[in-house]
């Protein structure tokens, strides 16, 4: 949740541009734009299902 809150704070309170946020975080501009649009969900990365070794 930390990254999402930082992005939202920079954009809405400090009025930083999406380009500047992408420079500071290392994320692409499209990713920053997507996080601002969603607004409430922390990004989750999918872990592929693996068969058991047993």
**What does pLDDT average to over the chain?**
86
Residue 52's pLDDT is 84
d(CA 18, CA 21): 5
Mean pLDDT over 23-44 rounds to 84
How many Cβ atoms sit within 10 Å of the Cβ of residue 29? 13
- Give this prediction's pTM: 0.67
Grouping H, G, I as helix, E, B as strand and the rest as coil, residue 40 is coil
Q: What is the pLDDT of residue 18?
A: 95
- How distant, in Å, are the alpha carbons of 30, 32, 48, 54 from that of 26? 12, 10, 25, 40
Rounded CA-CA distance 2/5 in Å is: 5
25, 7 contact by CB (below 8 A): yes
Q: Domain residue spans in the chain?
A: 2-38
């Amino acid at each position: 949740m930390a990254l999402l809150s930082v992005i939202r704070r920079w954009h809405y309170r400090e009025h930083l541009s999406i380009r500047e946020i992408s420079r500071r975080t290392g994320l692409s501009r499209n990713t920053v734009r997507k996080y601002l649009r969603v607004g409430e969900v922390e990004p989750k990365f999918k872990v592929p299902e693996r068969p058991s070794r047993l």
